Structure 1
Amino acid sequence: MYKLLIADDEYEIRNGLSSYFPWESIGFEVVGQAADGVEILTFIEQQPVDVLLTDIRMPVMTGIQVAQHLFEHQANIKVVFLSGFQDFHYAQQAIAYGVNNYITKPTKYSELSDVFCKIKQLLDANQKPYLLPQLESSNDKIIDTIKKYVQSHYQNASLEGAAKLVHMNPYYISKYFKEKTGTNFSDYVVQVKMKKAAELLDDVQYKIYEISEMVGYSNSKNFTRTFRKTFGKSPREYRQEE
């Protein structure tokens, strides 16, 4: 449900709109009422609102001034004007401040319904562009977390360990990691191990079998085989060329 605030300086109008129109059936929840522009802004500061349905001519602060304030502060609120004054000048000002529609009094049921169905479509569309980047950002964080885990625990990094860290099923993580990076999880672990091994080979104080153990290989022959497959040469040859 999208949150709707209704504002009009006449109690009967704002209360009638709040109480007798089936807002929930078209996806809106009336979260409050306001009698003037100051009350509108005070309410919005305290509670998030998706849509504002407001009269234009109100005491203290007009609907136009409210729309201008929201526009200048880049508030993500759809505004619909409600007024008995069929004045093109007001409509022009409404467009300048990003107002979504202009409804004249007395309000017709069909007009109100049509306008707010369109508003809902706009909100739904905005929600999809907003959620997709958020989802992509979340996806990136998952991959980053897994990569950092492997880089920190390359000696004994496992699919099960990564899955526990991001609270996902190991089988799903395997497919997910491949889909997002183009690399199998196990291959990525090997890449990190071999990169670390190459760095350690630059330090002559470490023997090759020690480096094998340091990067998680208890069998130095397996280490040598994997290293050769990665770099096209044995660890000893790699060290001699450096």
Structure 2
Amino acid sequence: MEKGIISYDISSLSWKNGFVEKIRMLFLLFFYIITINRSKQKPYVQRKGSLRMYQVIIVDDEAKIRNGIAGLFPWSQLGFEIAGCFSNGKAAYEYTLANHVDLVLSDIRMPIMDGLELSEKLLEKRDIKIIFFSGYQDFEYVRRALRTGVVDYLLKPVKYEDLVDCLTRIRDRLNSETHAAPAREEENLTYYEKIISLVKNYLDTDYQNATLEQAARLVNLSPNYLSRIMKEHSDVNFSDYLLKTRMENAARMLKDIGCKQYEIAYRVGYDNPKNFSRAFHQYFHMTPSQYRKSSGADHDYGGIS
């Protein structure tokens, strides 16, 4: 045998040595091929002081596939790092909401939450890149995947070269987006400011009947996403701003001796005057009657203390 060349005559092994020996030789040959492929891949060198390792999660209900892709592929050479592996879309979705993830590699057909639902939910919440890999060459899957914003679709078994090419394109795109991030953040800030301004104007004018669901419909967002925008990009969250608006308007009305307290409660969104009185006391640290008296308008014959 020439030096540096691996060559096994599998047919020469007698069955006396057993089937296990043949399998062992096949695995040695397989891992040799993987090593040669890796050595041909040029290492990715990050630009000094500008880039980081992009975070990747792998989602597949088959452990062999998850572990194989995560363990046998030279992620770091391309500028990526495996952040986690998950067996279903729900677990991956929950992780991604709580952690920073740049790229998701996901199977399509999975239990609990499939890849299509995962991509739709993630792209509503995050600016994230998604690659699908599937054993099903189904045009309807491809069409739906691309429609949701998935960047690529690979067929199983995934070829080494195809995955390298795909990841290289995505890495280059992430690099360019990283450099453009400051301008994009400014655009996003303006976008968030417009949403918050619309919502606050709605609460200021319709505080009696205002709800988070109605506000979300007004700006064409989900209630949960709107709530998160208010919390992260405003000085006050949705419920606190609504309470503030209701209490300040109630205080203004209490200064008018012609307004009965039970009427004020209803006009600021409380069907039960006792609930209004409790909320008012928590906000101003005095009852509506005490506030009215302190303001000089203390002749209220419809009081609720």
1:94 pairs with one of 108, 131, 145: 145
Distance 1:35 1:133, change over 3 A: closer
Which residue of the partner structure matches residue 79 of structure 1?
130
1:47 matches 2:99: yes
Which residue of the partner structure matches residue 180 of structure 2?
129
Distance 1:38 1:134, change over 3 A: closer
Which segments of 5 or more consecutive residues in structure 1 lack a partner in the other structure? Answer: 136-242
Residue-pair matches, total: 134
Which residue of the partner structure matches residue 16 of structure 1?
68
Aligned residue identity for 2:87: A
1:28 pairs with one of 73, 80, 84: 80
1:5 matches 2:57: yes
1:115 pairs with one of 159, 162, 166: 166
5 Å-filtered alignment, 1:56-71, equals 56-71=108-123
Aligned residue identity for 1:18: A
- 1:128 is displaced (CA, Å) by 1.1
- 1:132 is displaced (CA, Å) by 5.4
Runs (4+) of structure 1 exceeding 6 A deviation are: none
TM-score normalized with structure 1 length: 0.53
- 1:45 is displaced (CA, Å) by 2.1
Aligned counterparts of 1:134 and 1:65: Cα–Cα separation in 2: 27
1:105 matches 2:156: yes
Aligned residue identity for 1:14: R
Aligned counterparts of 1:70 and 1:46: Cα–Cα separation in 2: 12
User: Greater relative contact order: 1 or 2 (C-alpha under 8 angstroms, separation 6 or more)?
Assistant: 1
SS in 2 for 1:16: helix
- 1:47 is displaced (CA, Å) by 1.4
Identity of aligned residues (%): 38
Aligned counterparts of 1:133 and 1:45: Cα–Cα separation in 2: 20
Aligned counterparts of 1:107 and 1:5: Cα–Cα separation in 2: 16
Which segments of 5 or more consecutive residues in structure 2 lack a partner in the other structure? Answer: 1-52, 187-305
Aligned residue identity for 1:79: I
- 1:70 is displaced (CA, Å) by 1.5
Which residue of the partner structure matches residue 209 of structure 1?
none
Aligned residue identity for 1:87: D
Aligned counterparts of 2:150 and 2:97: Cα–Cα separation in 1: 19
CA RMSD in angstroms, aligned pairs only: 1.5
Aligned residue identity for 2:54: Y
- 1:71 is displaced (CA, Å) by 2.3
Aligned counterparts of 1:59 and 1:4: Cα–Cα separation in 2: 21
TM-score normalized with structure 2 length: 0.43
Aligned counterparts of 2:174 and 2:56: Cα–Cα separation in 1: 12
Aligned residue identity for 2:86: A
Aligned counterparts of 2:90 and 2:122: Cα–Cα separation in 1: 12
The structure in which a higher percent of residues are helix is 1
Q: 1:107-129: CA deviations, max 9, x gaps?
A: 11000000000000111111111
Aligned counterparts of 1:50 and 1:56: Cα–Cα separation in 2: 19
Aligned residue identity for 1:24: S
Which is further off, 39-48 or 6-15?
A: 39-48
Aligned counterparts of 1:133 and 1:52: Cα–Cα separation in 2: 22
5 Å-filtered alignment, 1:81-230, equals 81-131=132-182
Distance 1:50 1:86, change over 3 A: same
Aligned counterparts of 2:137 and 2:109: Cα–Cα separation in 1: 12
SS in 2 for 1:80: strand
